[in-house]
Structure 1
Amino acid sequence: MSKSNITPADLDAERAVTYGTEPFLSADYARAEKQRLWPRVWQMAGREEDIPNVGDYITYDICDDSIIIIRTAPDTIKAFYNVCAHRGRQLIDVPEGSNGVRGHARNFICGFHGWTYDIEGRNTYILDEDDWHGALNPECTSLTPVRVDTWGGFIYVDQREEEAESLQDFLGHAGRILSHFQFEKMRYKWRQWCIYPANWKTSIEAFMEPYHTTATHHQLTAFAEFYAYSKQYGLHSVSGFDQRKSAETTSQGGSVSRAGKGADPRISTYELAHENYTTINYAASTDTLINAARRLQDELPEGSTVGEVMAHWMASAKADDAARGVIWPEIPPEVMAEAGLAWTLFPNQNILQGVTFALAYRARPYGDNPDLCIFEAYALERFPDGEEPATEWVMAEPTEEQWGKVLAQDFANMKWVHKGMKSRGFKGALPNPHQEQKIINAHRNLAEFMGTGGPRIIT
């Protein structure tokens, strides 16, 4: 595989590139990721609402490592490797093919010999400790800590032992922009996962660009144009609605906000919003926004402009939400414009954001098999205090019945992309430099971590 020669300037110039299939198909590459990628980057591991009370914990597994994330005080979260210091038995059994374990603990007791640890990771009991003749000490008998931090209600872990950049520095401009959306005030609406037959990169890339919408989600083109831009922000990247130079479509700047096709934007705005909402498993919008869009034709006169329709829709929905105790964040217009439609946070977190909701995806390796991954999708929303639904992770087969029409259409591509890349006839990817720059940037950054090549300019 050729060494990458892509720079941020090349991405900004939208130079055409190609890259090969080794990152998707090679078992050696998958094994190398366990040393060169995952232990060297901040990873989103859960949400703070997963562990609301002191003693609540979740486990997060990545490759061969299992991590316990536990709330040790009302405002403190700690993380430890899920392994006893004595002989290496996992303290919490995480069944193969599960999406982690959630529970509550006063302490952790090893099922092998009974060594015990408090929730701060300190060893509190060793059977027949005197047999070691005083050689044991807290350093060798305590649980091994893992760096942990939070942002936007998300919990992140970092396995690097040496001093590394803070989570804030890692998120950079992406964190600065997305912090305005106050994800920490959102809660799960639903969350599902599956073991999917494709590499984790194949799977997450299916959700990194709207370029596929016209062919994959062709039913949506009756309601809107889906031309898009994408732009790199260092490790991370954003995509958003754009306008073809020769087209006369109308798109609104900002986050998930479009008028749709049609002569009457009062009608087309509702049609597009309703179609998206109902076919993406009731995510990427809210009941409040859909109901406000439904009233546009009654509340605005015929001939209202796109700008007037959009302004009235947002103001009406904002007032409706305020009446039920949901307060919108005040996001400056310049931030809304820069925020675009959806973000990819390296290496494997996608967030499609709105002012009161988010639709997010994550994909991770499944063991050492480059042909499988753990794929997750979940919806977040702002709810009135105390009215958020109780949710758990649900394992769901990748079908329309379980995931909705749009996500099922994505599933119908992903495994065939992965299979097709194995063909001798596939010469390498040719990503769209304008609309799929997020994917190019992801591979450029991956190459930096892996040190084994990446996208190269087509000459």
Structure 2
Amino acid sequence: MKLDFDDWNIHVGTPHPFNERVRPAIDNGTGRSDPRRYHDRAFMREEWEKVFARSWLLAGPASDIPEEGDFFTFDIGPESFIIVRGADDAIHAHYNVCPHRGSRLVTTDFGSLDRFTCPFHSWKFDLEGHNVAVTDPETFRPEVLCHDRNLTSVRCEVAVGLVFISMDAEIEPVKQWLAPILPQLELYEIDKMYVVQHRRSDWGANWKGGVDAFAEIYHLHAVHPQTQCLMDDRTQIDLWPGGLSRQFVPFAQPAARFPDQETVNPGIQSMLRDAGIDPASYEGSAAQTRSDVQKAKRRRSDELGLGYEKFSDSQLSDSVVYSLFPNGQIGCHPEAIFLHRFMPHASDPNQFTYDTCILYRHVDAPGYSAPAWMGLGDETDMSGGTRPEIVHTGLGEPPGLGEVLDQDSDLLPIVQAGARSRGFRGPLWSEQEGRLRHFHAELDRRMERSA
């Protein structure tokens, strides 16, 4: 019998269209996926060609390149791309490759240039990718320079303040792909946010193991028991075609399995404080705190003109997390969002890079801040005046991502080792892992199509 999660009514307060479940629900069956997807090199090579080379990929926030000539590099698998703002505010994406001898053009994460100059032989290219200068052109036969010597560009489009690129010239427009969730994402005004923290760490697992771990909260009680006093694992999952999904993660109340449903513990006290409630004078129980956080945020919005009337109650207290196939997640809050990207290794299916950044929208108002649980320290520049450096830790180094994420980085290599065993015959997903089954169903659909 299929468990009906409609009775997991996590929403409190006034009904809101944002919280409505997607109907008809997508049923991805009960099959077992081939575990080779987690470790087989042939599968990895085919996956690159059929999935990554033919999908929209989240390259980064447009706020990272506000002025003409600003660029950032986007490295994924064996490829590197330059994302640059050109003339007339247009954003372009080029392979980070000189057409002369194949050298990387730029080797930094960020920069600002009026043109790109190859470090090998000084060929020059404008921001749109056109070759504008060849060193010693008289030493080339004219027939050689008649070949296309511009940079190779790829599809590049912007939606909700985020830059997406695709190596597939025939792919549908990005806003058409995102259409089922685009109005929801637009509510958060991500285009007005900027990066305040950016970290990368190399993990000893397949990138899909990262997607799997971050697309469900079924594991919280086992891997992150410290979260059970302030995060509920009764949740709502919604699925859309194309591998898109959404999950509500309720905050500021204990999980149902947590033994103490009354005490306002230190974790919930922090969330009350975030909302402008003094925990020392709070007289309610943990059964009321989530609702009271929502009410307090509405009062703050009314007093300061924050515009929270467009949000549902759940959006004010919870994390609303979207999965963007294949490898992106966006966790949305009115004040800040987080981006997770699970970047496949160039050649080893047993490694991936976890890339995470937090974007914040500054409002000069008392008490307004990013959620405290995001872990932004006092040293973080919240003004947007300085784009933080990317902190990158290598494989085997302590990632320093915070207690919860460090626990994930410790566990995933153990899961990866088991996934390679002959004794593992493929995952058995519960309904709590519906986003995982949906992701892998889309992966299978892509892998089954012709090259």
Q: Is the 8 A contact 2:301 2:308 kept in 1?
A: no
Structure 1 residues 412, 11: CA separation in 2 closer, same or farther (over 3 Å shift)?
farther
Q: Is the 8 A contact 1:259 1:310 kept in 2?
A: no
Distance 1:452 1:425 in 2: 29
Whether 1:314 and 2:287 are equivalent positions in the alignment is no
Q: Is the 8 A contact 1:328 1:355 kept in 2?
A: no
TM-fit CA distance, 1:145: 1.4
Whether 1:214 and 2:212 are equivalent positions in the alignment is no
What corresponds to 2:433 in structure 1?
436
Q: Which moved more, 1:39-48 or 1:65-74?
A: 65-74
Aligned AA (2:131):
N
What corresponds to 1:402 in structure 2?
400
Aligned AA (1:394):
V
Distance 2:232 2:291 in 1: 20
Q: Work out which of the residue numbers 344, 347, 353 in structure 1 matches 2:323.
A: 344
Q: Work out which of the residue numbers 382, 388, 391 in structure 1 matches 2:384.
A: 388
Q: Which has the bigger relative contact order, CA under 8 A and spacing at least 6? A: 1
TM-fit CA distance, 1:211: 0.9
Distance 1:370 1:217 in 2: 26
What corresponds to 2:103 in structure 1?
89
What corresponds to 2:273 in structure 1?
290
Q: Percent identity?
A: 25
- Aligned positions of 1:171-210 closer than 5 A: 171-210=178-217
TM-fit CA distance, 1:273: 6.3
Structure 1 residues 106, 12: CA separation in 2 closer, same or farther (over 3 Å shift)?
closer
Q: Is the 8 A contact 1:400 1:407 kept in 2?
A: no
Distance 2:129 2:209 in 1: 37
- Aligned positions of 1:41-120 closer than 5 A: 41-73=55-87, 75-93=89-107, 101-120=109-128
Structure 1 residues 425, 75: CA separation in 2 closer, same or farther (over 3 Å shift)?
same
Aligned AA (1:415):
P
- Aligned positions of 1:245-264 closer than 5 A: 256-260=250-254
Gaps of 5+ in 2: 1-21, 365-381
What corresponds to 1:362 in structure 2?
341
Distance 1:439 1:64 in 2: 25
TM-fit CA distance, 1:22: 1.2
What corresponds to 1:272 in structure 2?
268
Aligned AA (1:291):
D
- Aligned positions of 1:18-57 closer than 5 A: 18-57=32-71
Cα deviation, 1:34-74, whole Å, max 9, x if unaligned, reads 21111101101111222222111111122222211111136
What corresponds to 1:16 in structure 2?
30
Q: Is the 8 A contact 1:53 1:74 kept in 2?
A: no
Structure 1 residues 52, 444: CA separation in 2 closer, same or farther (over 3 Å shift)?
same
> What TM-score, normalized to structure 2?
0.79
What corresponds to 1:449 in structure 2?
446
TM-fit CA distance, 1:222: 3.0
Secondary structure in structure 1 of the residue aligned to 2:445:
helix
Aligned AA (2:42):
D
Q: Is the 8 A contact 1:204 1:361 kept in 2?
A: no
Q: Is the 8 A contact 2:64 2:195 kept in 1?
A: no
Structure 1 residues 258, 37: CA separation in 2 closer, same or farther (over 3 Å shift)?
same
Distance 1:31 1:334 in 2: 44
Distance 2:421 2:57 in 1: 32
Structure 1 residues 31, 14: CA separation in 2 closer, same or farther (over 3 Å shift)?
closer
Q: Is the 8 A contact 2:203 2:354 kept in 1?
A: yes
Q: Work out which of the residue numbers 419, 422, 430 in structure 1 matches 2:420.
A: 422
Root-mean-square deviation (Å): 3.3
Secondary structure in structure 1 of the residue aligned to 2:218:
helix
Q: Which moved more, 1:80-89 or 1:361-370?
A: 80-89
Cα deviation, 1:96-133, whole Å, max 9, x if unaligned, reads xxxx6211212122233322111121111123434555
> What TM-score, normalized to structure 1?
0.78
Structure 1 residues 448, 26: CA separation in 2 closer, same or farther (over 3 Å shift)?
same
Q: Work out which of the residue numbers 352, 365, 375 in structure 2 matches 1:373.
A: 352
What corresponds to 1:253 in structure 2?
none
Gaps of 5+ in 1: 1-7, 94-99, 242-255, 278-288, 454-459
Cα deviation, 1:61-102, whole Å, max 9, x if unaligned, reads 222222111111362211111122223222224xxxxxx621
Q: Is the 8 A contact 1:180 1:331 kept in 2?
A: yes
Structure 1 residues 329, 183: CA separation in 2 closer, same or farther (over 3 Å shift)?
farther
Q: Is the 8 A contact 1:122 1:138 kept in 2?
A: no
Aligned AA (1:23):
R
For this pair of structures, how many residues does the alignment match?
404
Distance 1:420 1:222 in 2: 30
Distance 1:237 1:124 in 2: 44
Cα deviation, 1:355-400, whole Å, max 9, x if unaligned, reads 1122221111121100111111222222137823631211136877
Q: Is the 8 A contact 2:201 2:353 kept in 1?
A: yes
Distance 2:440 2:286 in 1: 47
TM-fit CA distance, 1:445: 0.8
Q: Work out which of the residue numbers 152, 157, 164 in structure 2 matches 1:156.
A: 164
TM-fit CA distance, 1:177: 1.7
Aligned AA (1:214):
H
TM-fit CA distance, 1:441: 0.9
Distance 2:420 2:171 in 1: 37
Distance 1:302 1:65 in 2: 52
Secondary structure in structure 1 of the residue aligned to 2:103:
coil
Aligned AA (1:90):
R
TM-fit CA distance, 1:416: 0.8
Structure 1 residues 213, 302: CA separation in 2 closer, same or farther (over 3 Å shift)?
closer
**Structure 1 segments (4+ residues) deviating >4 Å:** 8-11, 130-134, 136-139, 261-265, 299-308, 334-337, 397-401
Structure 1 residues 317, 415: CA separation in 2 closer, same or farther (over 3 Å shift)?
farther
